[in-house]
Amino acid sequence: MNIDLKSISEIVQIFNEEDRNAIEAVVAESEAISKAVEMIVDAFHHGGRLFYIGAGTSGRLGVLDASECPPTFSTQPEMVQGIIAGGDVALRKAVEGEEDKPERGAQAVREYQLTSQDVLVGIASSGRTPYVLGALKEAHTKGVKTIFLSCVPPAEELKEYVGHFITPIVGPEIITGSTRLKAGTATKLVLNMLTTISMVKLGKVYNNLMVDVHASNIKLVERSIRIVQTVTGVDATIADTTLKQARGSAKIAIVMLVKNINRTDAVALLEKHQGFLRPILDDLKQMET
């Protein structure tokens, strides 16, 4: 209360204190988040996809998280997708009224052709966005695995068509009703975990290195070179040359170097191990000892 009367430094302190509440709320949902990741990984293993759907800030955060997967983990664009009420134009400015239309959410599920192999995460901080609820209802009728991420306790009727809930209860916002604040922070934290941990469990991370990074710009090429150097111990020139032979794949380049094999054989060896780098490197260590 009376935040408009406080100094800038006092308001900054208020934000810091309230953001800690958002983090604690996410921590309290650790078990629910773990279960959601298990659902997503299982879907990926069976050829399924992950979809986020939301309106406003919730929709934008879903699109953001999905769009980061291809460059970070070299996933195909269709593997993780974000859907926002009002379409791409809503990423930059509000599309009034779209979030109030459950039929639009249902239509999106049909347009993206979700199936029983897929997972749909509906994101609605308030727990009642009609667009999101419409999508979840339609998805349920198609056998899609449904997850609802909200910052309030779920209404009882949602359990009829939602299979799993993640509900970090962040409490009232600093500016009443502005869910882009604590609710937005909590949502981003949860989405970070859903995709990142899923990708770890698909073998796209070795130690804490993004070995499946898609080297699509100078910064990521340089990062790929450093990753290859870190794992193999070669100098930058050899790492760069091998990366080019591996068509930009740090993971393939690493296997080529540690096994002294060509790209084709490195790809085949990774396929044998379902894309996981660790068992290949562990085998090498055992041979050396």
The residues that are catalytic are 68, 99
Among candidate residues 230, 57, 75, the one with its CA nearest the CA of residue 66: 75
Q: How far apart are CA 19 and CA 193, in angstroms?
A: 18
Q: CA-CA distance, 196 to 208, in Å (whole number)?
A: 11
Strand positions, DSSP E, the chain: 50-54, 80-84, 119-123, 145-149, 164-166
197 forms bridges with which residues in the sheet?
A: none
| Neighbour order of strands in the sheet with 164-166 | 80-84, 50-54, 119-123, 145-149, 164-166
Locate 164 and state its tokens. Answer: 């799993």
User: Can you read off the two tokens belonging to residue 193?
Assistant: 């975990």
Are 98 and 131 spatial neighbours (Cβ–Cβ below 8 Å)? yes
The secondary structure of residue 155, as a DSSP letter, is P
What are the φ and ψ backbone dihedral angles of 82, each rounded to 5 degrees? -115, 135
Residue with tokens 């949502």: 187
